[in-house]
A and B are shown apart, each in its own frame.
Chain A
Amino acid sequence: AQSVSQHNHHVILSEAASLELGCNYSYGGTVNLFWYVQYPGQHLQLLLKYFSGDPLVKGIKGFEAEFIKSKFSFNLRKPSVQWSDTAEYFCAVGTSNTGKLIFGQGTTLQVKP
């Protein structure tokens, strides 16, 4: 069965600091990987996705993620965070043969102005 683990539960950064959020998954076959963001009071929105090809994926709002197959990881990065990036971030893994999309526990990011 597929599973997802996010290492950091709560991250606090100052504006302009760099961000890296960890995500590891467990599944023996081909996976599709996603990062979603949930701003306060809103539902989840897609940040970026990886299906195949270049393991470095660029998303919206300056976010990027790198798929490292040997480490079963898909970490999210941003070189310089802004106060408006304060939100909860979720990593998710999907497989085409099961059709399921499973989410990690989420990481709350607080950016101090």
Chain B
Amino acid sequence: NAGVTQTPKFQVLKTGQSMTLQCAQDMNHEYMSWYRQDPGMGLRLIHYSVGAGITDQGEVPNGYNVSRSTTEDFPLRLLSAAPSQTSVYFCASSYKGGISPLHFGNGTRLTVT
């Protein structure tokens, strides 16, 4: 089925560990993005990409890295996990950033202890 696939669904990390959240879409969307959702804060944009080879910072980029080597994939790397990164992470894609509606993945619930 066409859509945005995120893995894993759940993850527990210890402070200082690193990990990569995977995101793939099969809709040939130009735009991909990562958000974190925290109670009372809404969704905050971490990083986004308007096409393969192009990435840019969002509202809360510190502590995260991204790359976009292919149109389909947009992994999010946590370099050294901190308790403040405990959150629900959503990957989303759209045909064209800022204009087209977003298609969301099912989310990754990350806990950092």
Residues of chain A having any CB pair with chain B under 8 Å: 6, 9, 32, 34, 36, 43-44, 46, 49, 51, 90, 94-106
Which residues of chain A come closer than 8 Å to B58, judged between CB atoms? 100
Are A102 and B45 in contact, CB atoms less than 8 angstroms apart? yes
Name A32's contact: one of B35, B50, B56, B98 (CB within 8 Å). B98
With CB as the reference atom, state the residue of chain B lying closest to A32: B99
Q: Give the distance to chain B from A2, nearest Cβ to Cβ, in Å.
A: 9
Whether the Cβ atoms of B41 and A105 lie closer than 8 Å is yes
Q: With an 8 A cutoff between CB atoms, is B90 at the interface?
A: yes
Please determine whether A100 and B105 come into contact, CB atoms closer than 8 angstroms. no
B14 within 8 Å of A by Cβ? no
The binding surface of chain A is classed by DSSP as: loop
The distance from the CB of B89 to the nearest CB of chain A, in whole angstroms, is: 11
User: In the complex, which of the residues B44, B96, B104 contacts A96, with contact meaning CB atoms closer than 8 Å?
Assistant: B96
Q: Write the B34-59 contact mask toward A (1 if CB under 8 angstroms, else 0).
A: 01000011111100101000001011
18 A-B contacts (beta carbon < 8 Å): A6-B42, A32-B98, A43-B106, A90-B42, A94-B98, A94-B99, A96-B96, A96-B97, A99-B31, A99-B50, A99-B96, A99-B98, A102-B45, A103-B35, A103-B42, A103-B43, A103-B45, A105-B41
